[in-house]
Amino acid sequence: MYDPRLAWMLVAPVLLLLIFFLLLPIAVMLVYTFFTFVTAGVESATVTLANWHEFLTDGYYHGFLLKTLRVGGMTAIICGILGYFPAYFIWATTFKHKWLLLLLLIVPFWISFTIRTFSWIHILGEQGLINVTLLKLGLIQEPLQMLYTEGAVIMGLLHFLLPYMILNVYVSLESIDRTLISAARSMGCTSAQAFREVTLPLSLPGLAAGLMLCFVLAAGSYVTPQLLGSGRDALFGNLIYDTIMGQLNWPMGATLSIVLFMVLGCFAAVYTRYMSMSQIVKGLGG
């Protein structure tokens, strides 16, 4: 017999963790957005809307936000394009030891994200691998400016996020009943038609989940723009860090943090509106 009390007892630990480690910090940060900034490192509990008014009326913040969304969107789309083909290859290959391919895919996760990001400095820098090679081949006369650009930031984000996309798409492909493809072929479909009519539509939940995951992680990124970009290539996360740690303006930093949280939350809400929760779990490997 179903016992509601037992159900609540089982779910209580998870609820408490969510409340204390997710909802409570967000609530505290939201309250801080209404504090008054006095001077560096000093704020007053006097309630004010000045922080929100500054964000809403200052185009400086809007520019950072729009650029962050643009970079996040570009990164997610490129990840989707580049990640689908390796995922499809791993799924479709007849190689007996497919687990080796998956192992190679997750090997980068064994290396620190910061170290992986630093490695691009030795590849894209003026004395990096690409410039040194092109100079020795005589193809260029002076080093190309590839580091500390928006392109370098996107490249670093792709390096970080591409495995997530491949894994999401692969899991979605792996859940497809291959007899459906065989049935399509037996009814006269070519390989390309079977892919277009069966495989691609059924793999879209994983692709959509990968796009959402890559977009959110890219838009909230701080380390990659800090290491590979210049001041003009900073994203919203860098602006938040500079506001809190550089200017010691906690109320404004909290305001910017809540703004980013709400914006990314809206994108997630739109995603869940058009993609059912079961598809999300399926795409994420559930």
pLDDT confidence band for 277 (50 / 70 / 90)? very low
189-200 pLDDT tens trace: 888 898 988 899
CATH number of 59-283: 1.10.3720.10
pLDDT score at 280: 44
94-116 pLDDT tens trace: 888 888 888 888 888 888 888 99
Give the H or E element holding residue 98. Answer: helix 98-106
pLDDT confidence band for 275 (50 / 70 / 90)? low
What's the CA gap between 133 and 172, in Å, rounded? 40
Is 209 buried (19+), middle (13-18) or exposed (0-12) by CB count in 10 A?
A: buried
pTM tops 0.75: yes
What residue segments make up the domains of the chain, in order of their start?
Answer: 59-283
What's the CA gap between 32 and 193, in Å, rounded? 56
